[in-house]
Structure 1
Amino acid sequence: MYEVPYHSKNLSQSCFLITGGAGFIGSNLVEYLLKYKAKKVRVLDNFSTGVMDNIAPFLSDPAFELFEGDIRNIDDCRKAVSGIDYVAHQAALGSVPRSINDPLTTNDVNITGFLNMLLAAKDAQVKRFIYAASSSTYGDHPGLPKVEDTIGNPMSPYAVTKYVNELYANVFSRIYDFHTIGLRYFNVFGPRQNPNGPYAAVIPLFIEAAKKKEAPIINGDGETSRDFTFVENAVQANIKALLSDDIHTSEVINIAAGERTTLNELWQHISGIWHIDVAPIYQTERKGDVKHSLANVDKANRLIGYRPAFSVMQGLAIAMEWYKNRAV
């Protein structure tokens, strides 16, 4: 992946910190930065959800640094940002169901941890701080496509935490002149996304079910729709946002493919590629889930030049090849 660079600047004099860099999106971002010869790429991770396998290929690269620490510890955050030019804050506890089962830990990581990183980066005077926001912030607002300045009520503790991130970022911009960009991800998928565990995302779960010729579990009637976004689109957005020069306030932008796919359509496509004829098992809808999601990405295009380079189907083809070759 990343055969086409999403930047024009020389990265050889720049140092980057990726929090959550052993995770799914973070490790893909690390791969990009190392491929294009960043001076230093430091990862801060406590391995609560990230895995060493994701960063194992980078350990021998002299530009790569691993700092095992926790964003809930302000001292770890301050050490991690030392000597850093750009921060991509990807560390968080994802999953709506996990936040419903354990709202306290989700709050601790996603709000306290975020504030620690924001403060440490501000005090270190980094050039740019980008963070992983979430489409869950749109909550129960029914409008489609989703536009950044129109949101509803949060539907889960996870959504609350991601909205609080945006509020803190806005306050830091107005009080401290520390300007950030929040990337509201819409259902990112792709290589290195973990298909195992109770909080695995739907696409890796579907692909693993297809591999085993088993019926996938669908919560609801399968007509729930999502703006599934290939991970390379998310990496593109991070790179363009990190290196942007003309952002002088706190901004939040949608990062998505701009197309809507139902879960039934998703399974039909995946099962068709694997040549299996297995019907899904439908279960009760989960609490806190948004029924439909679709992004307007005009603001991202206008502010940072973001254009999704991969459609859902193009991304699925790459992801399925990766899962096909993945060790079980």
Structure 2
Amino acid sequence: MVNRASAAVPIEGGRFMVIGGASLVGSATTEELLARGAAEVRLFDNFSFGSGDAIAHLKDDPRVTVVQGDILRLHQLLAATEGLDGVIHLAAFMTLSMDRDPWGGLDVNIRGVQNVLEACRASKVKKLIFSSSNAVYGYGPGVKGDLVEETPFFSVGAPPAAILYGASKIVGEQLCRDAYRRHGQDYVVVRYSTVYGERQHYRAANALYIVETHDAIKRGERPKVIGDGSETKHFVYVGDLARANCLALAAAATDVAVNTSGPAPVTTLELVKLVAELSGRPDLEPLLVEPDPGKVRLTSGGAFRIDHSAAKAAIGWEPQVDMREGLRRLLFWRDRNTV
């Protein structure tokens, strides 16, 4: 990890762009940037996955500009990055999308990152924050113990889409390292666990489990637990990630990757029971079901612990919102914003 004063980008008075801004993390990160005094936030999105609903509450702020564009079109990025202090790059195919369209996913997750880096270089953007994933450690029985930033990639026995996703994030991280080596492009990689929170969508494999469980409970159905319920999952509340993105911009750290996850893991059975309790239906006994081999689901489980010490040392971050409180906020929002 490198620390130098010039790598720190103050939020207050700064001009920033969130790529993939019309998203769960994008909307929360924009809120955090505005709360910290950003002078301008551009939301860059092609709206193939993003939604206008996710950012509807932000459009009246005069500091927010929505730019419809595609990271595979370099000329659009070049125009959009002019005059910026920092860029937060969130746009990507996730595991479920990668399963449906692996070639498209690799294009977005690799060539798209290279385009973002080239635009940052050409526009002299001071710092890039790249959203990566704990998928860079792989999947399966080889992923165990304490996951630190130097933990290698494991792939044996995992679904191809999950491995393609994790591998594409590894390549994206290395492209950031290469841009730093070649051009001095400051960056911080933030490795997310499964994100959940207000404005939750139906695209992420593990977070989908939360919203589908809530939907079933609202219909009066017994919630399903895939497997025996003992598998451990790793989630992080979206507000904690928004804070991590801003801290990474403002920190002196550069040329570093850090883990970000919630305060503690949760088993699938604990998760389902918690959703039922917070939905007011603790009487609905979970139903154990066998995993569907035709679906890519619940990909980030494992007997491991995600170590956050590097994030605390590099950018001053650690998780604050536990699973119960985060789920309470998510379900409160869903009950008021979904039919």
TM-score (norm 1): 0.90
What is the rounded CA distance, in whole Å, between the counterparts of 1:200 and 1:273 in structure 2?
16
Q: Which runs of 5+ in 1 are unaligned?
A: 1-7
- Whether 2:259 is the aligned partner of 1:254: answer yes
Q: How is 1:256-271 mapped onto 2 (pairs within 5 angstroms)?
A: 256-271=261-276
Structure 2 CA distance for aligned equivalents of residues 58 and 313 of structure 1: 27
| More deviation, 316-325/20-29 | 316-325
3-state SS of paired residue (2:334): helix
**Residue 34 of structure 1: aligned partner:** 34
Instruction: Note the alpha carbon deviations across 1:155-186, whole angstroms, 9 max, x for none.
Output: 42111111111111111122222121111101
In 2, the alpha carbon distance for the partners of 1:263 and 1:199 equals 10
Residues 212, 303 of structure 1: alpha-carbon distance in 2 compared, 3 angstrom cutoff? same
Equivalent residue number for residue 241 of structure 2: 234
Q: Which amino acid aligns with 1:252?
A: A
Compared CA separation, residues 172 and 317, structure 1 to 2 (3 A): same
Would the aligned equivalents of 1:54 and 1:192 in 2 still touch at CA under 8 Å?
A: yes
Give the letter for the 1:302 counterpart: A
Q: Name the CA distance, whole Å, in 1 between partners of 2:59 and 2:174.
A: 36
Q: Is the 1:195–1:208 contact (alpha carbons within 8 Å) kept by the matching residues of 2?
A: no
Aligned to 1:81: 81
- Conserved? CA contact 2:16–2:42, under 8 Å: yes
Deviations 1:88-145 (A, max 9, x none): 1011111x23312321011111111111101111222212100110011111432222
Distance across 1 between alignment mates of 2:328 and 2:206: 23
Q: Structure 2 vs 1, CA of residues 196 and 282 (structure 1 numbering), >3 Å: closer, same or farther?
A: same
Distance 2:320 2:225 in 1: 28
1:168-317 matches, within 5 Å, as 168-195=175-202, 201-245=208-252, 247-248=253-254, 250-276=255-281, 277-284=284-291, 289-292=299-302, 293-317=304-328
Q: Residue 39 and residue 310 in structure 1: after superposition, are their counterparts in 2 closer, same or farther (change >3 A)? A: same
| Residue type at the aligned position of 2:230 | E
Work out whether residues 136 and 167 of structure 2, in 8 Å CA contact, stay in contact via their aligned partners in 1: yes
Quote how far apart the aligned CAs of 1:299 are: 0.3
| 2:161 is the alignment partner of 1:162 | no
Q: Distance in 1 between matches of 2:316 and 2:184?
A: 23
Query: Aligned with 2:144: secondary structure?
Result: coil
8 A contact 2:228–2:288 mirrored in 1: no
In structure 2, the CA distance between the partners of 1:132 and 1:11, relative to structure 1 (3 Å rule), is closer
Q: Residue in 1 aligned with 2:99?
A: 100
Identity %: 28
User: 3-state DSSP class of the match of 2:305?
Assistant: coil
Is the CA contact 1:211–1:324 (under 8 Å) kept in the aligned structure 2?
A: no
Check 1:196–1:166 CA distance in 2 against 1; reply closer, same or farther (3 A cut). closer
2:336 is equivalent to residue 325 of structure 1: yes
Partner deviation per Cα, 1:1-46 (whole Å, 9 max, x = no partner):
xxxxxxx997442101000110110011112222333110001000
Write the distance in 1 (CA, Å) between the matches of 2:257 and 2:316.
Answer: 14
Give the Cα–Cα distance (whole angstroms) in 1 for the partners of residues 89 and 173 of structure 2.
13
Distance in 2, matches of 1:291 and 1:34, equals 34
CA drift at 1:220: 3.3
- In 2 relative to 1, CA 215–309 (structure 1 residues): closer, same or farther, beyond 3 Å? same
How many residue pairs align between the two structures?
318
Equivalent-residue separation in structure 2 for 1:199 and 1:261 (angstroms): 12
Assess if the C-alpha contact under 8 Å between 1:134 and 1:162 holds in 2. yes
RMSD between superposed Cα atoms in Å: 2.2
Partner residue, 2:55: 55
Structure 2 SS opposite 1:181: strand
Amino acid at match of 1:251: V
- Segment drifting more, 140-149 vs 12-21: 140-149
Matched AA of 2:49: T
Cα–Cα, structure 1 residues 199 and 56, in superposed 2: closer, same or farther, change >3 Å? same
TM-score, normalised relative to structure 2: 0.87
1:197–1:209 CA distance, 2 compared to 1 (3 A): farther
Unmatched tracts of structure 2, length 5 or more:
1-7
1:144 match:
145
Q: 1:153 to 1:9 in 2, by over 3 A?
A: closer
Deviation at 1:198, TM superposition (A): 8.6
CA distance in 1, matches of 2:9, 2:174: 31
CA offsets per residue over residues 167-220 of structure 1, 9 Å max, x none? 111111222221211111011110011147999622222222222222444443
Kindly indicate whether the alpha-carbon contact (under 8 Å) linking 2:202 and 2:208 is maintained by their aligned counterparts in 1.
Answer: yes
Is the Cα contact below 8 Å between 2:10 and 2:250 reproduced in 1? no
Give the residue type in structure 1 aligned to 2:236: T
Q: State how far apart, in whole Å, the 1-side matches of 2:54 and 2:143 are.
A: 37
Name the structure, 1 or 2, with higher relative contact order (CA <8 Å, separation 6+).
Answer: 2
Q: Which amino acid aligns with 2:24?
A: F
